Amino acid sequence: MEKKWMKKSEGKFSLIVDNTAIGNMEISSKTTISKAICTLGEQKFTIQKTGFWKNNREVLDNSGQIIAKIYNEKWFASSSILDYKNKKYKIVSRNNPLVELVILEQEIELLAYGLKTEKKEIKVQISMNKKTTDLLFDFILWYLFAPIIAENADDNVVFQMLLSV
Residues written for the chain: 165
pLDDT at 155 over 70: no
What is the distance between the alpha carbons of residues 40 and 42, in angstroms, rounded to a whole number? Answer: 6
Per-residue confidence (pLDDT) for residue 165, from 0 to 100: 42
Phi, psi at 33, each rounded to 5°: -75, -30
Cis peptide bond N-terminal to 147, omega within 30: no
What is the distance between the alpha carbons of residues 146 and 140, in angstroms, rounded to a whole number? Answer: 10
Beta carbons of 14 and 6 less than 8 angstroms apart: yes
- CATH number of the domain to which 111 belongs: 2.40.160
Q: Per-residue pLDDT tens for 95-105? A: 988 899 999 99
Cβ burial of 39 (10 Å; 0-12, 13-18, 19+) is: middle
pLDDT at 164 over 50: no
Per-residue confidence (pLDDT) for residue 156, from 0 to 100: 47
Q: Per-residue pLDDT tens for 92-151? A: 999 988 899 999 999 999 999 999 888 877 788 999 987 778 999 999 999 999 888 777
When pLDDT is cut at 50, 70 and 90, the band that residue 162 belongs to is low
Tell me the CB-side half-sphere exposure of residue 86, using CA atoms within 13 A: 0
What is the distance between the alpha carbons of residues 146 and 33, in angstroms, rounded to a whole number? Answer: 15
Cα–Cα separations (whole angstroms), residue 76 to 17, 71, 121: 35, 12, 32
Per-residue confidence (pLDDT) for residue 154, from 0 to 100: 54
Q: Per-residue pLDDT tens for 6-19? A: 999 989 999 999 99
Q: Select the more confidently predicted residue: 158 or 78.
A: 78
What is the distance between the alpha carbons of residues 99 and 152, in angstroms, rounded to a whole number? Answer: 10
Q: Per-residue pLDDT tens for 55-81? A: 899 999 999 999 999 999 887 778 999
What is the distance between the alpha carbons of residues 23 and 83, in angstroms, rounded to a whole number? Answer: 22
Mean pLDDT score of the chain, rounded to an integer? 88
Range of the domain at 113: 3-163
The total number of structural domains in the chain stands at 1
